[in-house]
Structure 1
Amino acid sequence: MPAFVRKGAPALLGAGTLCAALLLTGCAHPEPHAPPPTSAPAAANPPAGAARAGEAEATDARPAAPPRIPGIGPVTQARVPDGTTQALVVTGDTENSNTATVVLHQRAPGGRWYEAGGPWSAHNALKGWTADHSAGDLRTPIGVYRIGDAGGRLPDPGARIPYDEDPEFAISGTGFLGESLEGSFDHVIAIDYNRVPGRTPLDKERPLGAGKGGGVWIHVDHGGPTQACVTLHRDDLRTLLVALDPAAEPVVVMGPAPVLAR
């Protein structure tokens, strides 16, 4: 295999901070027209729950919960790193579905998440999804994974994440529906499942062992389901490549809708 050419060193990811604004409410107290009476002493033990003189009504000072990505429940949201401000959400209808919808969400400075790309149609693995992926099971792993390395047979379309152009991304053969696979790896984005981040997507090291699979990418759609990858139409993938910002610590959040909503 020829040496890989890195077009751009891996970017150093900055940590973002979610800030909650505190609203301070002032209470005005007009001067009395006459001095308060002194003949009636104040009650030593006012009834429970009664407000003391001059004291504003108590309010709930607990900070509001951080906004969640649309369609994502609290359990899944908790797995998104605090510093992440870009999240690519890949949603299947059911555990066994092999088509999905993809939306790129961005977090605004105030904390609110909004749609920054898509929705795009996609394919995933032939048999759907799994929370315990293994090599050859024909299912796409469910979870939250970082995405920060890309590459392809064709030149870099303008990605800010590191991109490796290499002829080793060439592929031939047919898919599960008899469709041609040629050009499927013209552009790819590596999903950090069982791989070493910061390396070309072609890297074969598997930290969890070969039995847990690997080489799970986002690549060009070939018109049918995949072994484990997620696919997007060529123009949509190129748009995504240009949009991803390493400073935003992007992640992919993927799985069937009922699981992601937990």
Structure 2
Amino acid sequence: MKRTTLPLLRVRATVLDPSRGTLIAGPVQVPCALGKTGRTWVKREGDGASPRGRFRLRAGFYRPDHLGARPRTGLALRPIRPRDGWCDDPRDRRYNRPIPLPAPGVSAERMWREDAVYDLVIDLDYNRGPIRRGRGSAIFLHVARPGFAPTEGCVALRRPDLRRLLIRLGPKTRLLI
């Protein structure tokens, strides 16, 4: 049986804790973590907020030594390697792009992490074209920390929920935060 691609995922923040929310995918609702300062229309690097808006799902990454085979999805996925990073330094010309590590003198997010939050990562296409320095970087859909601890601005789901959802995601899927 062929599964249809979901056109839209919606994220709703909870009223009492803006760093927690619910991701709605058709009839399915799953809990999610959001940025530690909630959501914002005016995102800035380091503000801890999830950007509000409608975002395309560009592509993703997975950690093969933790997940095994490539997860099934309609999105382009590539394995994360130990030297993979993501530039979060607004002064660098590679700001908000994947970069190889080490990158001396440049602030960068390490993609190969031991805490498992980047075992599965989807690039949300926030501030990716054109890239505006200082407007936020490395905004992803990724695996949640235990207890749905807040993110630095991403949306995070339990690993089983993210894996189930991946099967229904494709290049035309949008995420509304």
TM class, shorter-length:
0.7 to 0.9
The AA in structure 2 aligned to 1:143 is G
Match of 1:127?
A: 37
Q: Secondary structure at the match of 2:167?
A: helix
**Which structure 2 residues correspond to residues 41-56 of structure 1 after superposition, within 5 A?**
none
- Stretches of structure 1 that go unaligned for 5 or more consecutive residues are 1-83, 106-114, 173-181, 197-205, 255-262
Offset of 1:88 from its aligned partner? 0.6
Q: Secondary structure at the match of 2:37?
A: coil
> TM-score, normalization: structure 2?
0.73
Match of 1:177?
A: none
Match of 1:161?
A: 75
The AA in structure 2 aligned to 1:236 is D
1:234 to 156, 159, 170: 159
1:99 to 8, 12, 20: 20
**Which structure 2 residues correspond to residues 187-202 of structure 1 after superposition, within 5 A?**
187-196=120-129
Contact kept, 8 Å, 2:41 with 2:51, in 1: the verdict is yes
1:90 to 8, 11, 23: 11
The AA in structure 1 aligned to 2:158 is H
Structural RMSD (CA)? 1.9
Tell which has more relative contact order, 1 or 2 (C-alpha 8 A, sep 6+).
2
Q: Secondary structure at the match of 1:212?
A: coil
Match of 1:55?
A: none
Offset of 1:95 from its aligned partner? 9.2
Contact kept, 8 Å, 1:96 with 1:127, in 2: the verdict is no
Percent of residue pairs bearing the same amino acid type: 27
Say which one has the larger Rg. 1
Q: Secondary structure at the match of 1:237?
A: helix
The AA in structure 2 aligned to 1:138 is G
Contact kept, 8 Å, 1:95 with 1:130, in 2: the verdict is no
Offset of 1:153 from its aligned partner? 1.5
The AA in structure 2 aligned to 1:225 is P
Match of 1:170?
A: 112
- Stretches of structure 2 that go unaligned for 5 or more consecutive residues are 85-110
The AA in structure 1 aligned to 2:45 is A
Offset of 1:90 from its aligned partner? 0.7
**Which structure 2 residues correspond to residues 1-262 of structure 1 after superposition, within 5 A?**
86-94=7-15, 97-105=18-26, 115=27, 118-154=28-64, 155-167=69-81, 168=84, 169-172=111-114, 182-196=115-129, 207-209=131-133, 211-223=134-146, 224-246=149-171, 249-254=172-177
Offset of 1:146 from its aligned partner? 1.0
Higher percent of residues as strand = 2
Contact kept, 8 Å, 1:151 with 1:163, in 2: the verdict is yes
Contact kept, 8 Å, 1:152 with 1:165, in 2: the verdict is yes
CA distance in 1, matches of 2:17, 2:139: 18
Offset of 1:240 from its aligned partner? 1.3
Offset of 1:150 from its aligned partner? 1.1
